[in-house]
Structure 1
Amino acid sequence: MAQQQEGMRQPLQARSQDSAAKVLDAALAILGSQGPGALTIAAVSKASGVSNGSIYHRFTDRRTLLVAAQDRFLAQIEETWLSRTAAVWAISDDDALLARMIEAFTDVFTEHRLVFQAFMLSGYDDPQLRERGAASTRRAAREFGALLAERFGSPPEAADTAYRILWGQAVSSALFTDEEITELAVTRQSRHEYMLQALKAVLAA
Structure 2
Amino acid sequence: MGDQQEGMRKPQQARSQDSAAKVLDAALKILGSQGPSALTIAAVSKASGVSNGSIYHRFADRRNLLVAAQDHFLAQIEEAWLSRTAPVWAVDDHETLLSRLIAAFSEVFAENRLVFQAFMLSGYDDPNLRTRGAESTRWAAREFSALLAERFGTSPEAADTAYRILWGQAVSAALFADEEVTGVAVSEHTRQGHLLQALQAVLAT
TM-score (normalised: structure 2): 0.99
Tell me the distance in 2 between the aligned counterparts of 1:176 and 1:73.
20
1:148 matched to which residue of 2? 148
Percent of counterpart pairs with the same letter? 78
1:21 aligns with 2:14: no
The Cα of 1:149 is off from its aligned counterpart by 0.5
**1:6 lines up with 2:6 in the alignment:** yes
Matches of 2:37 and 2:155, distance apart in 1: 44
1:44 aligned partner: 44
What is the letter of the counterpart of residue 91 of structure 2?
A: I
Task: Report the equivalent of 1:196.
Answer: 196
Counterpart of 2:102?
A: 102
Output the CA distance in 2 between the equivalents of 1:9 and 1:193. Answer: 55
Equivalent residue pairs, number: 205
Partner of 2:66: 66
Q: Deviations over 1:6-56 (max 9, x none)?
A: 111111111111100000000000000000000000000000000000000
Any residues of structure 2 matched to 1:155-166 within 5 Å, and which? 155-166=155-166
Q: Distance in 1 between matches of 2:131 and 2:8?
A: 39
Work out the CA distance in 1 between the residues paired with 2:155 and 2:15: 50
- Structure 1 length-normalised TM: 0.99
CA distance in 2, matches of 1:194, 1:18: 45
Q: Distance in 1 between matches of 2:17 and 2:185?
A: 48
Amino acid aligned to 1:157? E
What SS does the aligned partner of 2:185 have? coil
**Where does the alignment leave 5 or more consecutive residues of structure 2 unmatched?**
none
Distance 1:176 1:102 in 2: 18
- CA–CA distance in structure 1, aligned partners of residues 47 and 126 of structure 2: 25
Deviation at 1:61, TM superposition (A): 0.4
Distance 1:3 1:153 in 2: 56
- What SS class does the counterpart of residue 125 from structure 1 fall into? coil
Distance of 2:6 and 2:103 partners within structure 1: 49
Structure 1: runs of 5+ lacking an equivalent: none
Q: CA deviation at 1:114?
A: 0.4
Aligned equivalents of 1:50, 1:128: Cα separation in 2: 25
TM-superposition CA deviations, 1:73-104 (whole Å, max 9, x none): 00000000111000101101100000000000
How far off is 1:146 after superposition?
0.5
**Runs of 4+ in structure 1 over 3 Å off:** none
**Distance of 1:13 and 1:138 partners within structure 2:** 32
Q: What's the RMSD between the two structures over aligned residues?
A: 0.5
Corresponding position of 1:132 = 132
Counterpart of 1:122 in structure 2: which amino acid?
A: S
AA aligned opposite 1:49 = G
Q: Deviations over 1:125-169 (max 9, x none)?
A: 101100100000000000100100011111111000000000000
* 2:182 paired residue number: 182
